Structure 1
Amino acid sequence: MSVRPDPPVPPPTTLAAFSYIAAPTLALTYGVLRILDGLDGDMGPGAAWTLGHLAFMAALVLFAVMLRDMRELLGRSRAATVTYAAGLAGIACAFAQFAVDVVVGFLATDHEAMGPLFDRVQAVPGVPLVLYQAGPILFYAALVAFAVQLAVHRRVRFWMPPLVLAQVLLPLVSLDLIPVGSALAVIAFLPLALRARNRPVPAHA
């Protein structure tokens, strides 16, 4: 019985290849700056707070580029398109959340002054759910869903989905683990950044 060869893998655009490395690296930068910001016992406002949040906002933009490339790798299937749309919605919610954090950091004179400002934002109906609860989850769910779909279609190796899942779950254990999860994401996405034109990805490592 002949073995059907793996489908050819189209190459990424220059921007997509860059995004696979830069997005998790910027997320790692945010995680490190977040830890440094909290060394004095308080987080924000200040340079570490602002730079960290801006780094993650830039990461979110590049994650959107990544999701688009993953959709292309899956041939714009219905499942990939739904996952892509959900991922973009989640990215928009997370971006808005971090934008609020940056604005609050600029307006607040000290850490204590940030609380009332956040309270005013979260008092707006729907904001807690959309920006801080359900909304951003769509982005992380889309990352995992794309990883699984790519593995099922043999576009990536079998170990990618567990690494992406670990990236998503580690911050739920502790936000201080964001750098660890982001480092795992760099490893997970690196093969997609380096994939060559029409070179099949082996089904097994």
Structure 2
Amino acid sequence: MKLRAAFVAAPLFVLAYGVIRILDGLDGSRGPGLAWTTGHLAFMAALALFVPIFWRLRRMAGGGAFATASAAAGTVGVAALLGQFGVDLVVGFLSADHDAMGVLFEQVKAVPGVSVAIYDVLPFLFYIGQLALVGLLAARRQVKAWTFALVLTDLMLPFVTKDLIPLGALCLLVSFVPLGRAADAAVAAAPARPAHAFA
């Protein structure tokens, strides 16, 4: 299956999340409500698309130990972020207002291991794995250096302020369009596996 569409759709879903997040905060608070739910679902859709993207990039990079570890790290990060955003959705559904959400979030974070698993540690593997895979491709000259620079920019901007997520998503889109083409071309050019390889 061609994954070029995923390389385009994932940044667009991130863009949608970033824009909806800004709109949700125009009244001074975010969530609960339709904007909170829609935005989180958009980002979760993007996360789901990143899993096949990571493993396609691994294949494109030759499938070595470093590429495999990077794809695995990114996938663990995806799972952690899906858990985080899943909690956000549940809290939003259970809360009557923004203040009530804060109380529930504190209760969730008080559960042993939750902060490490879905907030403070494992989610960063998503960004590390993504950057490592694109960096490896850039080092192998399979993608341009500016592709790596744009992906790095996308990952750094939310740490400045989350209101820059839409700008970062546009950087990701510009970098991912040629990445998607290159990934599909690499797979198309790969020699077919002999029939006995499937036995």
Same fold by TM-score greater than 0.5: yes
Shift of 1:194: 2.5
Shift of 1:197: 3.4
Q: Distance in 2 between matches of 1:88 and 1:50?
A: 23
1:188 aligned residue: 175
What are the ranges of 5 or more consecutive residues in structure 2 without an aligned counterpart? 190-199
2:112 aligned residue: 125
Q: Which of residues 43, 48, 62 is equivalent to 2:30? A: 43
SS in structure 2 at match of 1:159: helix
What are the ranges of 5 or more consecutive residues in structure 1 without an aligned counterpart? 1-12, 201-205
1:140 aligned residue: 127
Q: Are residue 67 (structure 1) and residue 51 (structure 2) matched?
A: no
Q: Are residue 31 (structure 1) and residue 4 (structure 2) matched?
A: no
Q: Distance in 2 between matches of 1:133 and 1:166?
A: 21
TM-score normalised by structure 1 residue count: 0.88
Q: Are residue 159 (structure 1) and residue 146 (structure 2) matched?
A: yes
Letter in 2 for 1:197: A
Shift of 1:115: 1.0
2:43 aligned residue: 56
Q: Are residue 114 (structure 1) and residue 101 (structure 2) matched?
A: yes
Q: Distance in 2 between matches of 1:197 and 1:119?
A: 47
Give per-residue Cα distances to partners, 1:18-54, cap 9 Å, x unaligned.
1111011101100000000000001000000000000
Q: Distance in 1 between matches of 2:86 and 2:185?
A: 38
CA gap 1:197/1:87 in 2 versus in 1, 3 angstroms: closer
Shift of 1:153: 1.3
SS in structure 1 at match of 2:121: helix
Q: Which of residues 66, 73, 88 is equivalent to 2:75? A: 88
Q: Distance in 2 between matches of 1:197 and 1:101?
A: 38
With a CA cutoff of 8 Å and minimum separation of 6, indicate the structure with the bigger relative contact order.
1
> How much identity, in percent, do the aligned residues show?
47
Q: Distance in 2 between matches of 1:130 and 1:163?
A: 28
1:197 aligned residue: 185
Q: Aligned-residue CA RMSD in angstroms?
A: 1.4
Letter in 1 for 2:107: R
TM-score normalised by structure 2 residue count: 0.90
Q: Are residue 98 (structure 1) and residue 85 (structure 2) matched?
A: yes
SS in structure 1 at match of 2:42: helix
Q: Distance in 2 between matches of 1:183 and 1:82?
A: 27
Letter in 2 for 1:112: D
Q: Distance in 2 between matches of 1:62 and 1:75?
A: 21
Matched positions, count = 187
